[in-house]
Structure 1
Amino acid sequence: MSQRNAFLVTVLSQMHAPYRWCGKGERDSTTGQRVFDCSGLVTWAFHEVGGPDWRADTNTDALWTRCTPVPEVELLPGDLVLYHRKGDPTDAEHVMVHVGGGVVVGASGGGSTTLTLADAAKAKAYVKTFSSLDSRARRMGIRRLPFRP
């Protein structure tokens, strides 16, 4: 299996995992569930399949600068779709993973106040799918992780 495919399988294996601000795949102390924020899901899954361990120093802005730009016509499953902060098209705020057919997956629905499992449940914040690249406003662009050939 290619590193790209293994990354996708790993991301999808975390469907419905709860969102936690700054969550990088660590396990919740009460339930043992892994918790993620949007960039944490990407960096954890990439590391799990042999990529560099960017978890400690990578947020959404860093993914924008570290990864290769990709034109939309070259979009592949496993590419990252990034969205910018309202009012600042140069500030990456959110990232999701394209899984094919325009469908994206990401840890979504939470924010800086989503710190507990109760917060995540109240906000319906967890790893979930969206049916369109534009299901979230302000798409910034597409980036590609440095997968091994």
Structure 2
Amino acid sequence: MTSPVGFTLVQLRYFLIAAECGSMTAASAELHIAQSAVSAAIHNLEGDLRAQLFIRRRGRGLVLTPAGERLQHQARQLLARAREVAGEARGSGQILSGPVSVGCFITLAPYYMPALFSECTSRYPGIEIDVVEAEAEHLLQALRACRVRVLMSHGESVRCAFL
């Protein structure tokens, strides 16, 4: 089991907004929360990280420290990835439906397409599979032109390329 990090995504979000706004007061207005909540979250974040993130200049706002600048970059990436994870989790429960074009080499189609059809239609009853059987050059052209969204190829194992 991994050990907890001690800080939260909310603290990182407040930190980023305070850095962008240049003051705790402006950040609180942006977030529609009390200024003390922003200050407390950032203070706790600094404590968890054991690093000063801002130089606080009374009446003149905030300036990032070198540690704050490093965290700013990392926090943006982490929050972006967290949004992706949340989107993927929400999307996993959605029902897939509609047409999908699958390109397959002529020689592979009889061997792999029946299993693909069976698996996809049982998992996603609303999906409509359109198969394009062709040679390599024609399949690559179809993939580039978006006439095919999935391309099945062979080698050591069957692989799919998605556009």
Quickly name the TM-score band, shorter chain normalised: under 0.3
Q: Which has the higher strand share?
A: 1
Give the helix-richer structure, 1 or 2.
Answer: 2
Could you state the TM-score of these two structures normalised by the residue count of structure 1? 0.25
Larger radius of gyration: 2
Kindly indicate whether structure 1 or structure 2 has the higher relative contact order, using CA contacts under 8 Å at least 6 residues apart: 1
